[in-house]
Chain A
Amino acid sequence: MFVLTEMKDTVRIQPWLFKDDVNDAIVNVLNKKFANKVVHNVGLCIALWDIQQLEDSFLFPGDGAHHTVVYFRFVVFRPFIDEILLGKIKSCSKDGVHVSMGFFDDIIIPPNAMQDPTRFDEQEQLWAWEYAMEDGKHDLFMDIGEEIRFRVSDEAFTDTTPVGPDQASQDSEKGEAEVKKSPYTVTASVSEPGLGLLSWWNS
């Protein structure tokens, strides 16, 4: 679920932090910059693990801050493909089931990755697995807030950096109500025995 990522960055330490220990100042700056942010093709950054190497600090004319090239390792949330994870159902819609892990919400289970046969109940606005038993079909609903076990099947990174004015004006013509893109989306599947709501497999 979590991995270590090796990164290199130039850290700018403001003059008013010179009274602090250099290492502490660098740790704080790095945590402030990366924690709880998604880095493209890396994952959701959590916290600094360690600093591996500091290069010499340098000063620029006209800037009171010092700049240091830092090699460091960061804890990153990046589940690997086929990993089994646990989460809670956040919402159900026709597009699928949205799952949250508390700190990460962009997990979606598309309709084609659910137990077969599963249907969307319009009345309840929930997905239900039509489990066949001897005495007929039973609807196993995927209620909101239930714990769910799923397998990671795919991941997608979207570049959400702001676009230039040309592109932006084109986009706004398409309509302001465009859905907010999430930078990192995990696609999951619950189509195997053992996957799905924990209560389905307890007995």
Chain B
Amino acid sequence: MEVKKEKSAMLSNYEVLALLQDIQKGHNKQKKMHTNIATVSYEIIQHLENTACAKQSPEVISNFMKALEPYKLTKAEKLQFLNLRPRTAVEIQLIVEESEERLTEDQIYELLDLLGQHLPGDDTEQEQEEMEEEEIVDQE
């Protein structure tokens, strides 16, 4: 065995999840899979299904990548946005290196808006509820 190139490309969690789900589907029809791949694919699917990537699709990702273009983020930073789907400013500051110099406070909030708009997640309903609550408060 010879390693030609250790890191030839980075993969998003979505791509890995899709591959493993394909493998599991394909093997249901045929004979059973080998234990190693069965174990690891089960464990990773378990882990990834609870993360943001479970609700993503190729269109969602490509739209999101286009939306991120003006911010001059690195590949790794964009990838972590996809995988982690940060919801707070402090998370963005963690992911983006030297964020204080590279992003203004307004840009961080723009990014949070973009993340909420483009990437589907659990908290959209919650946000709506919050919005409704705010409206009620306003009416009062």
Whether B93 and A3, one on each chain, are in contact in the complex, defined by CB atoms closer than 8 angstroms, is: no
Interchain CB contact under 8 A, A42 and B19: no
Nearest CB of A to B129, in Å: 16
Q: Is A194 within 8 A of B93, CB to CB?
A: yes
B98 CB, min distance to chain A CBs, angstroms: 12
**Most chain B Cβ neighbours within 10 Å, of A2, A41, A71, A194:** A2
Q: Across the interface, which residues of B come within 8 angstroms of A113, CB to CB?
A: none
Q: Which residues of B contact A46 (CB under 8 A)?
A: 16, 20, 40-41, 44
CB-based contact B94/A192 at 8 Å: yes
Q: Which of B1, B41, B44, B80 is close to A9, meaning CB atoms less than 8 Å apart?
A: B1
- Which B residues lie within 8 Å of A37 (CB)? 36
- In the complex, how many residue pairs between chain A and chain B have their CB atoms under 8 Å apart? 116
Closest to A69 in B: B2
- The stretch that binds A, out of B63-71, B83-91, B105-113, is B83-91
- A47: which B residues are within 8 A, CB to CB? 19-20, 23, 37, 40-41
Minimum C-beta distance from B128 to chain A (A): 19
Q: Contact between B36 and A41 (Cβ–Cβ < 8 Å)?
A: no
Q: Is B136 an interface residue (CB 8 A)?
A: no
Give the docked Cα–Cα distance between A78 and B9 (Å): 11
Most B C-beta atoms less than 10 A away, residue of A46, A73, A82, A149: A46
Judge whether A194 and B90 touch: CB under 8 Å.
yes
Interface size, chain B (Cβ < 8 Å): 41
> Is A201 in contact with chain B by the CB < 8 A criterion?
yes
Q: Which of B9, B40, B51, B80 is within 8 Å of A84, CB to CB?
A: B80
Is B140 an interface position by the 8 A CB rule?
no
Residues of B contacting A131 in the complex (Cβ-Cβ under 8 angstroms): none
Given contacts A1-B13, A4-B11, A28-B34, is CB(A103)–CB(B93) below 8 Å?
no
Q: How far is the CB of A175 from chain B (nearest CB, A)?
A: 31
Q: Considering the chains assembled together, what is the distance between the CA atoms of A4 and B36 in angstroms?
A: 19
Bound-state CA distance A149–B83 (Å) is 13
B83 CB contacts on chain A under 8 angstroms:
1
Q: How far is the CA of A73 from the CA of B3 in the complex (A)?
A: 10
Interface residues of A in 49-87 (CB under 8 A from B): 49, 71, 73, 75, 78, 80, 82-84, 86
A-B contact sample (15 more), CB < 8 A, given A2-B15, A5-B5, A75-B19: A2-B11, A3-B7, A7-B4, A9-B1, A35-B34, A39-B3, A41-B6, A46-B16, A47-B19, A47-B20, A47-B37, A75-B16, A82-B97, A83-B76, A83-B80
11 A-B pairs in the complex with CB atoms less than 8 angstroms apart? A5-B7, A7-B1, A7-B4, A37-B36, A46-B40, A83-B80, A84-B94, A101-B47, A193-B90, A194-B90, A201-B90
* A interface residues, Cβ below 8 angstroms from B: 1-9, 28, 31-32, 35-37, 39, 41-42, 46-47, 49, 71, 73, 75, 78, 80, 82-84, 86, 101-103, 149, 151, 192-195, 201
